[in-house]
Chains A and B, each alone.
Chain A
Amino acid sequence: IFQVLLGIFFNVHSAVLIEDVPFTEEDFKDGPERIYRLYEQVSYNCFIAAGLYALLGGFSLCQGRLNKRKEYMVR
């Protein structure tokens, strides 16, 4: 959930998060467009991380349920 929110904030080019965007000196040249691209890339990374976490969560839920059923079957 955290990652999804972060991704949204980065996508909206939030000024508060400016220090978190990795930029170099030359990015400042042609206007704010490059910075916006950077923002968006970071936001995509956040969404990817969120997706991975969702996968992990679903996986562990499935495993948990399988194990519970296995316990009953062994009995």
Chain B
Amino acid sequence: MGSLFRSEEVCLAQLFLQSASAYSCVSELGERGLLEFRDLNPKVSAFQRRFVGEVRRCEEMEKTFTFLQQELRGAGRALGPCPDNPRAPLAREALRVQEQSEQLAQELREVSRNRASLRGRLRELRQYLHVLREGQRFTSLSAPLGSPVRPRALSEREPILDPSLHQHLDRKINFVAGVIHPWRVSAFERLLWRACRGYLVASFVEMPEPMEDPATGESITWVIFLISYWGEQIGQKIRKISDCFHCHVYPYPESEASRADTMSGLHSQIQDLSVVLEESEQYLAQVLDKVVLALPTWRVQVQKMKAIYLVLNQCSFDVTEKCLIAEVWCPVRDLTQVQDALRQGSYKSGSSVECFVQRIPTSESPPTLIRTNKFTAGFQSIVDAYGVASYQEVNPAPYAIITFPFIFAIMFGDVGHGLLMFLFALWMVLYENSPSLRQASNEIWLTFFEGRYLILLMGAFSIYTGFIYNECFSKATVIFPSAWSVAAMANHSSWSSAYLATHPSLTLDPNVTGVFQGPYPFGIDPIWSLATNHLNFLNSFKMKMSVVLGIVHMGFGVLLGVFNHVHFQQRHRLVLELLPEMVFLLALFGYLVFLIFYKWVKFSAANSLVAPSILIHFIDMFLFTSNADNLPLYRGQVPVQTVLVVLALASVPVLLLGTPLYLCCRRRAPRPGRPAPVAAGEQEPLLEGQEAGNSVNATKEDVESGGHSPDAEHLDFAEIFMHQAIHTIEYCLGCVSNTASYLRLWALSLAHAQLSEVLWTMVMRNGFVRLSYAGGVVLVPVFAAFAVLTVAILLVMEGLSAFLHALRLHWVEFQNKFYVGAGYKLCPFAFAPDAWE
């Protein structure tokens, strides 16, 4: 029996691992990804566990790796994915990895530090050079000291004072030269002026090339300033002010010659420094290369190691401290594989004693495992989103593969839109192995990509229902010739020219010969799209179709419960629950379906005037009245209906009281004689209480609990009774409301059809208005608008809405007939490929 029908058998097993080979055994098991480990030390804190030292070591290594990665990113290099799949390293390998990584980190740190200092020095030298150069420009313009007074137009750019003043004061001129941030220039100038009151001359000029600001790292055009002053106190003031403004002050040599010397010295220093800097950059690049090569593998290795140690922390130690015991959930089918893995692990670690696995019985409910392939995974995930199947419960996913796209398609039916959807999904499926599609970071895109088979099927089914509804972008396609003939009507009936002139809307009467030539072979006749009472006809058809489909779907759901009852050895439920449920459903709503089909078959256009209304009959059935105007559908209709209603009403108390009474009797009968079945009987109500009427998330107390004293028996009986009452009420009321809920199939298909029609008439039709050849050009943007709106509104919005409603129908109406969904998934210990950053 395939595993998709029902979850696999999972057993609890104990692994006995030798201390020496424990690490490699767990590594082997992790590579294969078979088992889920249970935590045997839940009360021990993380710091007191056995292998906490190793875990800490792994975390330190990870810290080093993060530092290396940051350095890489700072240098603008990207880290590629790990090329192969390295296994978890053994102890000495791990040590080697740790040493190497730390050494690399150390080297990187040193090199970066050196580089930073070299760069700073280079920057200072360059700034000094610029200062000298610019200052030279000014001071070389000056008249030599002591020259005679010459009338000169004072300009702002002249740094040197009027020689007359200089002669007057007869002091030595000193200079302060430096570099200042351009934003602070005006404040600096103002402050200087205010503080020194004209005993200085300052000039500012921008540096020809921008340079890096050491603090912020951005490149700024610095401003060089040259202040010539005289007087010691002024000099001190100036220096203090420039300190406050965070300027770099450089010594400015007085004479021309010393300036030239300093400049040449600076040149040579800068050159040397550049060479050294270049070499250090090369060395840095080499180190980074090494890191890029080694880092991905190390990361994977250390992650695996950490995972293994975390798992080993969950095991408990044997009394003799030689053996680790681990409890695992293991699928029964894989037990041999597990044994094989253990053997390989022991062999690799070179120990002589083998580890082995042993199955142990358990009363807890094991986790659910359903193996899926890439096609079924999408459908299984939408079922699991409601609730993971309880252990060994029947899985609704294989039926959802067909019913879900079909119900979606009923709400979406349009050939054109279905075709677009199908092509889109086909593209995704054909290119599913391309890495650009798989590794996209957009979450919405990933959601669509995961469901590509789902969308493929939905598109295919939509094309089918589109053909049935005969809608292609809201236009009907005439594949077969239409069965209605206007010519016959015009010729054979009382249509005269006068009649045609006065009546704008005409009726084609199918009773006139030749007008209606039989039903259309497949789907709805295309002439309906030209008729004004198109919606009247379609509404009636779609409503009845929705109800029929709903009853079939729900009936199928109830039937699926059979498998559950048989598997869990609860055959009494077959009679006491399934039978009344089916009777109720079929007697009332199955009869409705029968009426629909009967009326479709029995009544034709000839007696359409006297055709009875099903709705009124149905209402009368419940009220036990009858309406004289409404003719009966067949002879003996009234007694048949009475019988059915009585049957349905009778099935309700059977559903309500059947199971609890049966359980009560069974428990009470053998109790005085045999105490043994008591335990079995006590296990039962737990399982009952879990499955009868519990909703999506059952708590852990429901899933696992041991036996209980007989004193609690009365309490249990009340609980069972209550559960059963809830279940009965839910079922009966649910039948009515859920049937009506299926009418959303009709509503949404109507909405879709109307939306596409509106889009066509309001958008596309405007493109056909112009008859000249310019109309062709006009058609281009009109069609573009039509296409965009189609995709955005009709495909995406309607598609999502129909998807949602189909999902809701599945989850609520279908699955609450038989599905409990209180299980939990088996999460095997496996080294999943991680997503970086």
Range of interface residues on chain A?
Answer: 20 to 34
Which of A2, A14, A15, A22 interacts with B768 by CB under 8 Å? A22
For B780, list chain A residues within 8 Å (CB).
49, 52-53, 56
Question: Which single residue of chain B is at the shortest CB-CB distance from A46?
Answer: B779
A32–B222 Cα distance when bound, in Å, is 85
A49–B766 Cα distance when bound, in Å, is 14
Give the interface centre of A19, A46, A49, A56 by most chain B CB atoms within 10 Å.
A49
A47–B780 Cα distance when bound, in Å, is 10
Q: How far is the CB of B422 from chain A (nearest CB, A)?
A: 15
Asked if residues A17 and B475 are in contact (CB atoms below 8 Å), the reply is: yes
Asked if residues B530 and A15 are in contact (CB atoms below 8 Å), the reply is: yes
Asked if residues A20 and B779 are in contact (CB atoms below 8 Å), the reply is: no
Given contacts A2-B783, A49-B783, contact A20 B776 (CB under 8 A): no
Whether a CB of chain A sits under 8 angstroms from the CB of B733 is: no
For B783, list chain A residues within 8 Å (CB).
2-3, 49, 53
Which of B475, B529, B775, B787 interacts with A45 by CB under 8 Å? B775
A38–B769 Cα distance when bound, in Å, is 11
What is the predominant secondary structure among interface residues of chain B facing chain A?
helix
Asked if residues B777 and A52 are in contact (CB atoms below 8 Å), the reply is: yes
Which of A3, A38, A45, A56 interacts with B773 by CB under 8 Å? A45
Which of A3, A15, A21, A56 interacts with B779 by CB under 8 Å? A3
Q: How far is the CB of B776 from chain A (nearest CB, A)?
A: 3
Asked if residues A49 and B768 are in contact (CB atoms below 8 Å), the reply is: no
Whether a CB of chain B sits under 8 angstroms from the CB of A66 is: no
Whether a CB of chain B sits under 8 angstroms from the CB of A36 is: no
For B476, list chain A residues within 8 Å (CB).
16
Q: How far is the CB of B487 from chain A (nearest CB, A)?
A: 13
Asked if residues A44 and B776 are in contact (CB atoms below 8 Å), the reply is: yes
Question: Which single residue of chain B is at the shortest CB-CB distance from A22?
Answer: B769
Asked if residues A21 and B768 are in contact (CB atoms below 8 Å), the reply is: yes
Given contacts A42-B768, A48-B779, contact A16 B773 (CB under 8 A): no
Which of B475, B773, B787 interacts with A44 by CB under 8 Å? B773
Which of B765, B768, B776 interacts with A52 by CB under 8 Å? B776
In the complex, which residues 758-784 of chain B have their Cβ closer than 8 Å to any Cβ of chain A?
A: 761, 764-765, 767-771, 773, 775-777, 779-780, 783
Q: How many residues of B contact A (CB 8 A)?
A: 23
For A48, list chain B residues within 8 Å (CB).
773, 775-777, 779
A49–B775 Cα distance when bound, in Å, is 8
A16–B477 Cα distance when bound, in Å, is 8
Q: How far is the CB of A27 from chain B (nearest CB, A)?
A: 11
Q: How far is the CB of B784 from chain A (nearest CB, A)?
A: 9
A28–B776 Cα distance when bound, in Å, is 24
Q: How far is the CB of B759 from chain A (nearest CB, A)?
A: 13
Asked if residues A45 and B779 are in contact (CB atoms below 8 Å), the reply is: yes
Mask, B515-540, CB within 8 Å of A = 1, is 00000000000100110000000000
For A19, list chain B residues within 8 Å (CB).
530, 761, 765
Asked if residues B776 and A47 are in contact (CB atoms below 8 Å), the reply is: yes
Question: Which single residue of chain A is at the shortest CB-CB distance from B760?
Answer: A20
Whether a CB of chain B sits under 8 angstroms from the CB of A61 is: no
In the complex, which residues 733-776 of chain B have their Cβ closer than 8 Å to any Cβ of chain A?
A: 761, 764-765, 767-771, 773, 775-776
For B530, list chain A residues within 8 Å (CB).
15-16, 18-19
Give the interface centre of A17, A20, A21, A44 by most chain B CB atoms within 10 Å.
A20
Whether a CB of chain B sits under 8 angstroms from the CB of A41 is: yes
Whether a CB of chain A sits under 8 angstroms from the CB of B712 is: no
Given contacts A16-B526, A52-B777, A52-B780, contact A42 B765 (CB under 8 A): no
Question: Which single residue of chain A is at the shortest CB-CB distance from B781?
Answer: A49
Whether a CB of chain A sits under 8 angstroms from the CB of B601 is: no
For A56, list chain B residues within 8 Å (CB).
780
In the complex, which residues 1-38 of chain A have their Cβ closer than 8 Å to any Cβ of chain B?
A: 2-3, 14-22, 38
For B773, list chain A residues within 8 Å (CB).
44-45, 48
Asked if residues B776 and A38 are in contact (CB atoms below 8 Å), the reply is: no
For A14, list chain B residues within 8 Å (CB).
478
Asked if residues B478 and A20 are in contact (CB atoms below 8 Å), the reply is: no
Which of A2, A16, A22 interacts with B478 by CB under 8 Å? A16
Give the interface centre of A51, A52, A56 by most chain B CB atoms within 10 Å.
A52
In the complex, which residues 208-226 of chain B have their Cβ closer than 8 Å to any Cβ of chain A?
A: none
A2–B472 Cα distance when bound, in Å, is 12
Q: How far is the CB of B443 from chain A (nearest CB, A)?
A: 28
Which of A2, A16, A18, A38 interacts with B787 by CB under 8 Å? A2
Q: How far is the CB of B772 from chain A (nearest CB, A)?
A: 8
For B770, list chain A residues within 8 Å (CB).
45
Question: Which single residue of chain A is at the shortest CB-CB distance from B771?
Answer: A41
Q: How far is the CB of A55 from chain B (nearest CB, A)?
A: 10
A25–B505 Cα distance when bound, in Å, is 16
Asked if residues A20 and B768 are in contact (CB atoms below 8 Å), the reply is: yes
A18–B768 Cα distance when bound, in Å, is 11
Asked if residues B776 and A22 are in contact (CB atoms below 8 Å), the reply is: no
For B771, list chain A residues within 8 Å (CB).
22, 38, 41-42, 45
Q: How far is the CB of B423 from chain A (nearest CB, A)?
A: 11
Question: Which single residue of chain A is at the shortest CB-CB distance from B764?
Answer: A20
For B779, list chain A residues within 8 Å (CB).
3, 45-46, 48-49
A24–B775 Cα distance when bound, in Å, is 17
Asked if residues A45 and B776 are in contact (CB atoms below 8 Å), the reply is: yes
Question: Which single residue of chain B is at the shortest CB-CB distance from A18?
Answer: B530
Q: How far is the CB of A49 from chain B (nearest CB, A)?
A: 4
Question: Which single residue of chain A is at the shortest CB-CB distance from B787?
Answer: A2
A11–B770 Cα distance when bound, in Å, is 16
For A22, list chain B residues within 8 Å (CB).
768-769, 771
In the complex, which residues 45-75 of chain A have their Cβ closer than 8 Å to any Cβ of chain B?
A: 45-49, 51-53, 56
A42–B766 Cα distance when bound, in Å, is 12
Q: How far is the CB of A56 from chain B (nearest CB, A)?
A: 8
Asked if residues A45 and B478 are in contact (CB atoms below 8 Å), the reply is: no
Residue pairs across A and B with Cβ atoms less than 8 A apart, 28 shown, are A2-B787, A3-B783, A16-B475, A16-B476, A16-B526, A16-B529, A19-B761, A19-B765, A20-B768, A22-B768, A41-B775, A42-B771, A44-B773, A44-B776, A45-B767, A45-B770, A45-B771, A45-B775, A45-B776, A48-B775, A48-B776, A48-B779, A49-B776, A49-B777, A49-B779, A52-B776, A53-B783, A56-B780
Other CB < 8 Å A-B pairs besides A20-B764, A41-B771, A45-B775, 13 of them?
A15-B530, A16-B477, A16-B478, A16-B526, A16-B529, A19-B530, A19-B761, A19-B765, A45-B768, A45-B773, A47-B776, A49-B777, A56-B780
